[in-house]
């Protein structure tokens, strides 16, 4: 009897050693694979080879969704319930099927599932392994359930690592594409600020993301005339940058036809409307500066009205125009406004990223504050006005992330 008992103990020890060897080898193989399908295939082969079953199902959480990697139509209907019921490996006895697993009993019985194993990451169930009857007679022992749990834990960790690696690769790819998009977008903005007789001009664009929806342009024409434009696309990021590029290309195409400012604005509006969804629109300001006569004509299509800072300290706003671009076809003609600039007068064009810049308390800067500080800049050059406003916004928003794209253009009559 003693010899028989020793033989049984030795067989159990051999079995444990074999299981440990299997877990050790499986862990090494799993950790070296980053392809999800290969991992699942290796796990399946290990399961069949060491447990002796060819009926199994693997359900995994993918964010808020649950996907079945190896399953049947019946189990798909109940996989959400299984996640709620299981917290430790169990052998499906009649008692459990009639109590805890009563809701899913028809499925488990039909699929001849004999044991259910949770797959946990950081004490949270991220998957469920269901195994069918053994090919050899007899139910699963407690030791076999523990082995299954350990094996499945290695598998789920490797699957999670594979998913994270795949996400990291995809994130890097998107970041590389955004860097290229940013470079392309920056090339769409004027590379050099042209020199304008009798005027000093300065401009800056700072995106809140790698690409943005703000836009400005300075296009030289003949007879000492220059087209000046600034725009702000609704939204941020890649979608806004694509629409911005569309508006820029449209303006550059129409400028050589020497249409009036209202007609040019109306055509840009119609093109944007026909090629975008109703929730996408652009606030736009288009101007024509004559450097000889110092006359500035403009159309304001729903944009923040630029400030005109006179040399005597008074301030005007440029409001003449019409509706924002892209909401509807231009049924009512845009209105054109005109001003004459005297020596020392400045025009400040900006997007709402300036006036709506937020501090760490979530409070906006506001146009009222912007107008207040501008009054003190009446003797400044265009470059000094630009840098002073930029410094003011930077100081106001210190400690808070940039909430929107910031674009400024300033020109001063000499």
pLDDT in 10s for each residue of the chain, 414 residues: 888 777 776 766 666 666 666 666 666 666 666 677 777 777 777 777 667 776 777 777 765 555 555 555 566 666 667 777 777 788 888 888 878 888 888 877 777 888 888 887 777 777 788 888 777 777 777 877 787 787 777 777 777 777 778 888 888 877 776 666 666 666 667 778 888 999 999 999 887 765 667 889 999 988 789 999 998 887 666 777 777 888 888 898 898 888 999 999 999 999 888 888 777 888 999 999 999 999 999 999 999 999 999 999 899 999 999 999 988 888 889 999 999 999 999 999 999 888 888 888 888 888 999 999 999 898 899 999 999 999 999 888 888 877 778 889 999 998
Neighbours of 5 (CB within 10 A): 9
Give me the half-sphere count of Cα atoms (radius 13 Å) on the Cβ side of residue 95.
Answer: 2
**Which position has the token pair 């080898």?**
25
Q: What is the pLDDT of residue 298?
A: 96
CA–CA dist 143, 252 (Å, integer)? 75
C-beta of residue 111 within 8 angstroms of C-beta of residue 74 = yes
Q: What is the pLDDT of residue 281?
A: 87
Token readout for 364 is: 């906006």
CA–CA dist 121, 346 (Å, integer)? 62
Token readout for 31 is: 């950790």
C-beta of residue 240 within 8 angstroms of C-beta of residue 283 = no
**Which position has the token pair 């308390």?**
361
SS3 410: strand
Report all structural domains of the chain as residue ranges with CATH numbers, in order of start.
2-162 (3.30.450.40), 190-413 (3.60.40.10)
CA–CA dist 399, 402 (Å, integer)? 10
Neighbours of 13 (CB within 10 A): 10
Q: What is the pLDDT of residue 200?
A: 94
Q: What is the pLDDT of residue 212?
A: 65
The closest of 155, 133, 208 to 29, measured between CA atoms, is 155
CB under 8 Å to 246, separation ≥6 — which residues? 271, 272, 275, 276
Tally the residues of the chain. Answer: 414
DSSP, res 313: S
C-beta of residue 115 within 8 angstroms of C-beta of residue 145 = yes
Q: What is the pLDDT of residue 67?
A: 57
Q: What is the DSSP annotation of 231-300? A: EEESS-HHHHHHHHHHHHHHHHHHGGGT--HHHHHHHHHHHHHHHS-TT--EEEEEEEEETTTTEEEEEE
Q: How far from each other are the two terminal CA atoms of the chain, in whole angstroms? A: 113
């Amino acid at each position: 009897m003693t010899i028989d008992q020793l033989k049984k103990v030795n067989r159990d020890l051999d079995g444990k050693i074999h299981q440990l060897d299997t877990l050790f080898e499986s862990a090494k193989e799993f950790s070296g694979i980053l392809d999800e399908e290969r991992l699942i295939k290796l796990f399946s082969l290990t399961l069949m080879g060491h447990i002796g079953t060819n009926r199994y199902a693997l359900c995994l959480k993918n964010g808020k969704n649950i996907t079945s990697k190896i399953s049947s139509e019946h189990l798909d209907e109940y996989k959400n319930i299984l996640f709620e019921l299981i917290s430790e490996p169990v052998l499906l006895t009649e008692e459990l099927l009639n109590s805890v697993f009563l809701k899913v009993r028809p499925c488990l019985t039909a699929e001849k599932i004999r044991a259910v194993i949770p797959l946990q990451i950081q004490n949270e169930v991220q998957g469920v392994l269901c195994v069918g009857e053994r090919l050899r007679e007899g139910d699963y022992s407690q030791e076999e359930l523990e082995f299954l749990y350990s094996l499945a834990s290695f598998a789920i960790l490797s699957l999670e690592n594979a998913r994270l690696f795949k996400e990291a690769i995809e994130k890097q790819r998107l970041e590389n594409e955004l860097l290229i998009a940013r470079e392309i977008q920056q090339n769409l903005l004027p590379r050099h600020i042209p020199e304008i007789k009798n005027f000093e001009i300065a401009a800056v664009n700072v995106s809140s993301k790698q690409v943005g929806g703000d836009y400005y342009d300075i296009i030289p024409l003949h007879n000492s005339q220059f087209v000046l434009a600034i725009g702000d696309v609704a939204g941020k990021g890649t979608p806004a940058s694509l629409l911005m590029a569309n508006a820029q290309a449209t303006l550059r195409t129409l400028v050589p036809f020497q249409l009036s400012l209202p007609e040019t604005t109306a055509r840009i509006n119609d093109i944007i409307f026909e090629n975008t969804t109703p929730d996408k629109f652009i606030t736009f300001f288009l101007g024509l500066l004559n450097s000889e006569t110092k006359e500035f004509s403009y159309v304001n299509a729903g944009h923040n009205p630029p400030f005109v800072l006179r040399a005597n300290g008074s301030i005007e706003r440029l409001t003449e125009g019409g509706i924002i671009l892209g909401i509807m076809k231009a049924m009512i003609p845009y209105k054109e406004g005109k001003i004459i600039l005297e020596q020392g007068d400045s025009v400040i064009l900006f997007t709402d990223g300036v006036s709506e810049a937020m501090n760490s308390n979530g409070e906006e800067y506001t146009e009222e504050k912007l107008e207040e500080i501008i009054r003190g800049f009446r003797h400044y050059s265009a470059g000094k006005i630009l840098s002073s406003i930029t410094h003011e916004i930077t100081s106001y928003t210190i400690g808070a992330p940039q909430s929107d794209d910031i674009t400024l253009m300033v020109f001063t009559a000499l």
